Structure 1
Amino acid sequence: MPKLLLAACALTILLSSTPQPGNATPVTAPNTCSDAAYRRFDFWLGDWDTYRITGEKVATSSVARNRITSILGGCALHEAYTRNDGYAGESFTSYDASRKLWHQTWVSNQGELLVLEGTQQGDRIVLSGSVTDAQGVQLQRVSWAPWQGGVRETCMGSRDGGKTWAMLFDIQFRHHRT
């Protein structure tokens, strides 16, 4: 009988020291993504209108809206892209400090999946990956850089293993006008 009494006392002490629903103290996790390396892509944060670029000439009409937000305590960027024709996609971008690489996963409402990785090169973030479609494998190289008060994103594609490259798109993000 004394062992049972001892167990009941131990259980009472344990339950009284365990936070109960409604009485829980919020726990603040340390910000592990505060290093300067995590901030190198912050130039892309914002609410943007998207314009096509031909040569160095920027179109006058926006083709899409793109919202880039910082999430998870500054550890990742979330992109929500919606083109005027109904095409939409989202990406999650994060810095992998252990490999010193940026990583992005892009998905769209047309079933596309693109996984990219790369580094900062000068004032640009340059990521590469590949997609497989009806025509086979295509390498893609995407870069983002501050440009003319906004951000310029270019995407080059190669279907011959990187021997030759063609422009897939060239766009500028300008701050959204309300």
Structure 2
Amino acid sequence: MPMFQLPRFALFAIIVGSTFAGLPHKAVAATRPASCQAPVHRQFDFWIGDWDTFDIGALNKPPVARNHVDAILGGCVLREVYEQSDGLVGQSFTIYDTDRHLWHQSWVTNRGQLLVLEGAQEGGRIVLNGVDHGDEGAKIRVSWEPQANGVHEIASKSHDGGRSWQPLFDILFRPHRS
């Protein structure tokens, strides 16, 4: 590369920097994301932690998964890393969408699965709903609720448009023990 040619990323930085350089401070500040410190953004913080995951019916057996949930991007996003004992690995990203006033979660796995859920706080629980496109469009409902000994997550599935629901899973996150 000749000495007088800038790499593309450097050229981009110069263009972007010069674009904002002439703007008043208030205009630059308006381009930054809003703070995620409002109480509504903290509704799901009870899920943050390093967890062992147990089936409710097998609390005295070894955990079925390890789950780590942390806050990223200035506390605006919850990132989940889920590692199940059978090799399933999943990650989710959960955010409170202030424009639409709801919680949004995108869940992906190492098996090519995608699930998008949205919903709200109901009492002390977060309840999200979505569609399982891999199961003929079945409706999915998932709730998380803080417990004295962890977080309780329940998922149900409906094949009749939500008129009846069948259990999908019922798990408890307990603090991880080394």
Same fold (TM over 0.5): yes
- How many residue pairs get aligned? The number is 151
Aligned equivalent of 1:167 = 167
Pick from 44, 49, 65: which aligns with 1:46?
49
Aligned pairs (5 A) from 1:88-127 = 88-127=89-128
Offset at 1:161?
A: 0.9
Is 1:155 aligned to residue 158 of structure 2?
A: no
Aligned equivalent of 2:36 = 33
Distance 1:122 1:41 in 2: 12
Offset at 1:31?
A: 6.1
Aligned pairs (5 A) from 1:1-150 = 32-54=35-57, 58-133=59-134, 135-150=135-150
The AA in structure 1 aligned to 2:108 is V
Aligned equivalent of 2:13 = none
Distance 2:139 2:83 in 1: 24
Distance 2:42 2:160 in 1: 35
Is the strand fraction higher in 1 or 2? 1
Alignment gaps of 5+ in structure 1: 1-17, 19-27
Distance 1:105 1:31 in 2: 21
Is residue 52–residue 59 contact of structure 1 (8 Å, CA) maintained in 2?
A: no
Give me the identity figure in percent.
51
Distance 1:30 1:140 in 2: 31
* Larger Rg, first or second structure (1 or 2): 1
Offset at 1:30?
A: 7.3
Q: Please, what is the CA RMSD of the aligned residues?
A: 2.0
Offset at 1:33?
A: 0.6
Aligned equivalent of 1:5 = none
